[in-house]
Structure 1
Amino acid sequence: MSAAHWIYLLGLAALIATVVAKRNVIALAVVATFATGVAYGGSLVTGLGAIFNGAIVATRELLPIFIIIALVTAMLGAMRGLGADALMIRPLRGLFRNGHVAYVVLAVVTYLLSMSFWPTPVLPLIAAILLPAAVKAGLAPFGAALAIAITGQGMALSSDYIMGVAPGLSAEGANVPAPDIADRALVISLIAGVVALAVAYLRDVRTRMLDPVAAAAIRLPVTETATAQATTRLERAEGGGTRPAGGGGGTATLTATGGGPEPAAPAPVPAPAPTPQARIVAVAVPALFALLLVFMLLGRFTSLVPDIDDGAGAPLVGGTAALALVVIALVANRRGWTEDIGGHFTEGIAFAFRTMGMVIPVAGFVYVGLSDYSGEILGLPDGAKAPGFLLDAIANVRPHIPEVPVFASFAMLLIGMVIGLDGNGWPGLPFTGSLAGSLGDGSGADVATLAAIAQNGASWTGGGTLVIWSSLIVVAGLTGVSVIDLARRLFVPVVTGLVVATAIATVLL
């Protein structure tokens, strides 16, 4: 353990302390990356280069995630232009009978949409269309934020069962089939999510239900004017007319921290009622993705269709979204469809980097500790042995972990949660997969289960439930609650869910 090792670990400890304090860690990650580079290379040049190279490596590794978010967001933007996004989930609004039912329905719908399209791209759609109906039924915005974060940023993202990106990354190091990890991660995420939803409901949600007068007074922020226009189109189609400025689902700009709305902007001009083309698209898009899901599941569990390669779910979904974008734009505007596609894709890229770009410096710091990336970040020549600061530290701790499945499982959960402090959760999955293979061989625990436990710990932490520099800030902003309060109230339900799920997985999987 060199001085650079200790400086990196000191930076990691400071990062954890900053997380506990619910403060932003971007500046700390930059300084820690610089200090680690200087300590290892012995020069300011190495330290300065490490900051830049770390950002480059992090961007490259996270680029597939950014692109899939951009493509799905662009497709939803094209649907929004037709008013088809609102029509797609309009039937679900009738399910919101009261605040208690609204909590369950919002959780289920958010989970299903997030499993199909990933949570971040569908957040504006959920906030613009479903959130006003849930609040009108009596669910407080804070309860809605808890339901959205737990099911979307937590449950759906931690298993990533349809896209298959996370299980593919875990499988790289574990040397086990990605579907085995995906199956176990799905079970763990469902157990953790149900427990977290129940704890959050008993602890916060049921005591904050709104009466009709209070619900009518709620003003919900929507960060994108286009999503507010989608809601206006939907209400117009239902005969509800236009809404006063600042009403539920109206537009408002957010403060820099996502901690609540500023004064509402004027209500957007209502667009015409949905056209037949919009109705066709509203039915065709979910049907298309449902068929894609059926195809993938048939390939995984039967021999009726060929199984797709590990990690091919994201390319399939991304390619489908891109093709759907082209078709929808052509249907919407036959003369200017090429320009519309460019505009929607640009907006999608901007949205992806605006919501997830803050994780790049933090991920760069995490990557310095992984030998697969540290050589490039520190500017080492090709062929030189790259240091693994985090790997080496865990290797020193590993002999002290009892070779008993239960200890190995909870050690993997803790390590996964530490890896997730980057605000994304997935960059370190190849490392946790490798560690799962090592601990599994020594303790007799199932390697795929250990990798799935670490994947859940990393994803729940960094995906958007426990750290405020993740996409949790988008959830807070769209629901109009404080992101710091939201992260604080999520801690007990999420950690309880993960502990219970890990204990059950250790025994049953």
Structure 2
Amino acid sequence: MGVDLTLVHWIYLVFIVLIIGVMVLRRDITLICIVGIFIMGWVATSSFTTAIGGIFNSLVYAITQLLGTILVISVIVALSHVLTKTGINDYMIKPFTKFIRTPALAFWVIGLVMMIVSWFFWPSPAVALLGVVLLPVALRVGLPALGAAMAMNLFGHGVALSGDYVIQGAPKLTADAAGIPVGDVLSASIPLVIVMGGVTILTSFFLMLRDMKKGKLKVTSQELQKINSDTSEQNQNFTLSPKTRTFFALLVPILLILDVVGMIAFNLQGDAATALVGGTVIFILMAISLVAHKNKGLEKITSYLVEGFQFGFKVFGPVIPIAAFFYMGDAGFSSVFGDVLPAHSAGIVNDLGNALAHSMPLNKEVAASTLTVVGAITGLDGSGFSGISLAGSIAHLFSAAIGSGIATLTALGQVAAIWVGGGTLVPWALIPVAAICNVDAFELARRNLIPVIIGLVVTTIVAMFLI
């Protein structure tokens, strides 16, 4: 049964347009989201105090929905600090260095290892874990630092983060905004991630080889001197014996791989999968801290966790008020403000989608193209995560209008947002990789631009056939 659109519906739609406009201008959208929540609450309840309280309660609701994701990323970052400071990361990565014999092999080995590690540790911590060990080897076989940065960036912040199959932070946000299970987004994203990653990375690789042959890209003596100096400093003052580091270097990946096996065997997704990874990581962190720091181990556990929590809330702090607004488009509005929508309402976004379907023709080609553009726009702030709730919400809206494709549209918006804003195009999001590889972030962004654009175009076309 259809529902007549109320003023609240139109306010929500107006604020979505405002949010997109502010993102295009590369300005922060937190204020817009909070004002939108307040105005919708005030109009719906006719109570100024309820609307004011609704701002706070909407943030509580968003944090409640995101807390598992925030915590698992925090403890993973804490573990990465332990592994780096104790030198275990060196032992985890060194077996891969024997495969690095040519510039081409260096590019692919660094990229594939970065992708695998990023699935379990997220790209930013993974850059620190890998860069110190693999970058010197790559430079010695002739892969320029910019080439190594491209490999780490495209495979980690691109392929691994846009799918996010283990930690499931990105699909959690988009699935919640679209009102569908996380598993649906994960499944729908697989072909899109493969196409996007394959097209972008192959394009980038061949352009890199072309410029190396022309002499535009090459390893300099200054780069080799700098990286050797940094490596020497990094490898000092480890507190664990080689045998102990070898033991933990084997234990950590084995336990994390067992987590993945457990997810498959017991069909664990979403919060259950997050909890399994988080619990395992905390167990590993405690064990390494106690062994490495001995009498100070108890205090060091807390210290590492605090460092991780600081990172987690720093990353997700800007996301919470934005996610809060988009949660209002679905079940969040009733949870915060009560049953104030019309009796037959299926949620603000569903109602808008149904109205759109009856008022204008909308086909899958237009829907797919729009989701890619919206996802790219949301990534302009450089986080990749702050706006993907918008992509999920619009996917929900469009799929209601065309009658299918919600999972594919949601995944497409997620892929576009992460590739643009998660750390492959926006210069200020490239800083971790650029810093580790000692290259210019703007030059890295310029190198990625053409391959990523080509990848987005091809992926959008593929998505049209999957809707």
- Could you state the TM-score of these two structures normalised by the residue count of structure 2? 0.78
Q: Secondary structure at the match of 2:183?
A: helix
Alignment of 1:357-396 (within 5 A): 360-361=317-318, 364=321, 367-368=324-325, 371-372=328-329
Name the CA shift for 1:340/1:190 in 2 (closer, same or farther; >3 Å): same
Partner of 1:480: 438
Partner of 2:95: 91
1:17 aligns with 2:25: yes
1:8 touches 1:32 (CA, 8 Å); kept in 2? Answer: no
1:138-157 per-residue CA deviation (whole Å, 9 max, x = no partner) reads 22222222222211111111
Alignment of 1:426-465 (within 5 A): 426=385, 432-433=391-392, 435-465=394-424
2:189 touches 2:411 (CA, 8 Å); kept in 1? Answer: yes
Moved more, 441-450 or 1-10: 1-10
Partner of 2:246: 279
* One-letter amino acid of the counterpart of residue 292, structure 1: D
2:357 touches 2:402 (CA, 8 Å); kept in 1? Answer: no
Aligned-pair CA distance for 1:103: 1.1
Partner of 2:4: none
User: Which whole-Å CA distance do the structure 1 matches of 2:391 and 2:19 have between them?
Assistant: 20
User: Which whole-Å CA distance do the structure 2 matches of 1:51 and 1:248 have between them?
Assistant: 52
Name the CA shift for 1:292/1:198 in 2 (closer, same or farther; >3 Å): same
Higher helix fraction (1 or 2) = 2
* One-letter amino acid of the counterpart of residue 454, structure 1: G
Give the aligned length.
Answer: 449
* One-letter amino acid of the counterpart of residue 503, structure 1: I
User: Which whole-Å CA distance do the structure 1 matches of 2:460 and 2:30 have between them?
Assistant: 33
Partner of 1:415: 374
Q: Secondary structure at the match of 2:230?
A: coil
Q: Secondary structure at the match of 1:218?
A: helix
User: Which whole-Å CA distance do the structure 1 matches of 2:138 and 2:448 have between them?
Assistant: 20
Name the CA shift for 1:250/1:47 in 2 (closer, same or farther; >3 Å): farther
Alignment of 1:324-335 (within 5 A): 324-335=284-295
* One-letter amino acid of the counterpart of residue 328, structure 2: S
User: Which whole-Å CA distance do the structure 2 matches of 1:180 and 1:283 have between them?
Assistant: 33
Q: Secondary structure at the match of 1:139?
A: coil
Aligned-pair CA distance for 1:216: 3.4
* One-letter amino acid of the counterpart of residue 123, structure 1: V
Partner of 1:493: 451
Name the CA shift for 1:143/1:188 in 2 (closer, same or farther; >3 Å): same
5+ unaligned residues in a row in structure 1: which ranges?
A: 19-24, 220-243, 252-265, 300-305
Alignment of 1:183-202 (within 5 A): 183-202=187-206
Q: Secondary structure at the match of 1:312?
A: helix
2:34 touches 2:325 (CA, 8 Å); kept in 1? Answer: no
Name the CA shift for 1:375/1:95 in 2 (closer, same or farther; >3 Å): closer
1:155 aligns with 2:159: yes
Name the CA shift for 1:171/1:218 in 2 (closer, same or farther; >3 Å): same
Aligned-pair CA distance for 1:158: 1.3
User: Which whole-Å CA distance do the structure 2 matches of 1:391 and 1:317 have between them?
Assistant: 33
Q: Secondary structure at the match of 1:336?
A: helix
* One-letter amino acid of the counterpart of residue 288, structure 2: I
* One-letter amino acid of the counterpart of residue 250, structure 1: D
Aligned-pair CA distance for 1:443: 3.0
Give the counterpart of 1:270 among 236, 248, 254. Answer: 236
Partner of 1:164: 168
Name the CA shift for 1:398/1:412 in 2 (closer, same or farther; >3 Å): farther
Name the CA shift for 1:363/1:180 in 2 (closer, same or farther; >3 Å): closer
2:427 touches 2:445 (CA, 8 Å); kept in 1? Answer: yes
Q: Secondary structure at the match of 2:295?
A: coil
User: Which whole-Å CA distance do the structure 2 matches of 1:188 and 1:419 have between them?
Assistant: 18
- Could you state the TM-score of these two structures normalised by the residue count of structure 1? 0.73
Partner of 1:344: 304
Aligned-pair CA distance for 1:324: 0.7
1:328-371 per-residue CA deviation (whole Å, 9 max, x = no partner) reads 222324432212211222222334455x26xx447635754663
Partner of 1:239: none
1:107 aligns with 2:67: no
* One-letter amino acid of the counterpart of residue 171, structure 2: P
Aligned-pair CA distance for 1:89: 0.9
1:136 aligns with 2:140: yes
Moved more, 456-465 or 105-114: 456-465
* One-letter amino acid of the counterpart of residue 337, structure 1: G
Say what the alpha-carbon RMSD is for the aligned residues.
Answer: 4.3
User: Which whole-Å CA distance do the structure 1 matches of 2:181 and 2:330 have between them?
Assistant: 24
Aligned-pair CA distance for 1:271: 2.9
Partner of 1:228: none
Name the CA shift for 1:12/1:389 in 2 (closer, same or farther; >3 Å): farther
Q: Secondary structure at the match of 2:143?
A: coil
Partner of 1:504: 462
Name the CA shift for 1:329/1:496 in 2 (closer, same or farther; >3 Å): same
Moved more, 151-160 or 392-401: 392-401
